[in-house]
Amino acid sequence: MNKLEDLLDNFWNTHKNNAGVAYVYTHKLSIAWILCVLFAVMLGFIYQGKAAMFRGIAESSETIISLPSPTEIVKVYVVPGQEVKPGDTIVVINRPDLTLRIAELTRELDALEGRSNLSSAEIDQKVAEVKANLETRRLALSSEIRNLEAEYESNKAISAKLKSLSNSKSKSDGNDAMAMRIKSLKNELAVATKSANEQIALLRGSGRLQKSTGKSEAANIRKELAEMRKQQKELTQIAKENWVVGDVNVRDGEKVSSFAPIVTLAHKSPTLIRGYINEQIYENTNLGEAVKVTSLTGKGKAVIGEVVGLSSRIVPFPTRMWKMPEIPVYGREVTIKIPEENKFLLGEMVTITETSKRNLEKQQQKAKK
């Protein structure tokens, strides 16, 4: 420090007779302040309040499998973290009330479609068809019930011999699920038998039905029946695209209440970036604006994204984005859509910078090719 002061003093003594140097030396503090103000004004003019760079977190859209009515889980075919492809079975669900309602609607529709005009021979033929269909269904269900009962008894015998497994939760759950399935098949057989008997009764008494049954009522029944059958097909949930299983909230044989989440699915790669812009520099960020998304480490290929959502209020940043642990940061939340083909990890922090609309259009054309 003393050497620096000596150098400055020597410089001053050498050039003190120079008027310009003397003026600068005398007003050095004022000149420094003026330069700082000019620098700040210049930066403000260059950036004009735009967010040149901010950070975000890579996320993915989710799909939750649930039904609007109480259900029974027959079989779950996936586990958390498993990748599923289009056509893969995710879960099979049972709704006994749906089966009963379809049978009721079918009987009502049969009665409204003019079965009263059937001749005796035609009625006998229809009755024979109903009996044949019932027998076919009964044989199939009975065979499946026998096989399950034999497997169930075998499991019970093994459990009795292996006393150490008598309290095993997984074994108990398997037996409970099998017993539930046997009960469900027996109920299905009973419903099929009851339905066939009622159809036979309707056929044999159809001669007494009136011909003036309204067509509009029949159309309404067909509409409801089509909806019921659609819901029945949806009881077997099939993957329609590539997913990664997130959460599995049920197990085989479990009863689930209305709208309860059964399985959660997410895309393997992030499809959205949740960005956060400091509240002091968000003014000029607009919907449709192109941005470049890169890894926080700066490694890897950058991805061009598009701003698709802007929050209408100031929100606190996630804790992991605070610069100081005890001082919250606030700003505006920005949702950015990015292509599915990317190398980001779910939950990864990324850096977001502005780019031109032309770059976004080039990226979209490249993706289409």
pLDDT digits (tens, 9 = 90+) for 158-206: 777 665 554 544 445 556 777 788 888 888 888 888 888 888 887 766 6
Residue in 249, 253, 251 with CA at minimum distance from that of residue 262 = 249
Percent helix, strand and coil across the chain, each rounded to 5? 50, 20, 30
Where does residue 235 fall: left (phi above 0), alpha (psi -120 to 50 degrees), or beta otherwise? alpha
User: Exposed, middle or buried: residue 341 (CB in 10 Å: 0-12, 13-18, 19+)?
Assistant: exposed
H-only helix segments in the chain: 2-15, 19-26, 28-47, 96-112, 120-161, 169-204, 215-233, 357-368
205 and 289, same structural domain?
Answer: no
163 and 290, same structural domain?
Answer: no
189 and 74, same structural domain?
Answer: yes
| 235 contacts 92 by C-beta, under 8 angstroms | yes
CA distance 59 to 188: 44
pLDDT of 263 reads: 93
Least confident of 181-195, 220-234, 275-289, 332-346: 275-289
CA distance 124 to 36: 103
Q: Name, in order, each residue with C-beta under 8 angstroms of 75's C-beta and a sequence gap of 6 or more.
A: 91, 92, 177, 252
CATH code at 334?
2.40.30.170
Query: Is 8 domain-assigned?
Result: yes
Query: Is 182 domain-assigned?
Result: yes
CA distance 24 to 31: 8
Query: Is 261 domain-assigned?
Result: no
User: Exposed, middle or buried: residue 38 (CB in 10 Å: 0-12, 13-18, 19+)?
Assistant: exposed
User: Has residue 306 got a pLDDT over 80?
Assistant: yes
The stretch 14-20 carries a mean pLDDT of 52
How many domains are contained in the chain?
3
Domain containing 37: what range?
Answer: 2-47
Average pLDDT, the chain: 76
User: Has residue 325 got a pLDDT over 60?
Assistant: yes
Residue in 91, 93, 72, 86 with CA at minimum distance from that of residue 264 = 91
pLDDT digits (tens, 9 = 90+) for 259-305: 899 999 988 888 889 999 887 666 667 888 888 898 887 777 888 89
Per-residue pLDDT band for 29 (boundaries 50, 70, 90) equals low
244 and 127, same structural domain?
Answer: yes
Determine the Cα angle at 89 with ends 74 and 83, to 5°: 120
294 and 225, same structural domain?
Answer: no
76 and 214, same structural domain?
Answer: yes
Query: Is 13 domain-assigned?
Result: yes
Query: Is 262 domain-assigned?
Result: no
Tracing tokens 């991805």 back to the chain, one arrives at 303
Per-residue pLDDT band for 4 (boundaries 50, 70, 90) equals very low
Q: What dihedral do alpha carbons 298, 300, 301, 303 form, nearest 10°?
A: -70
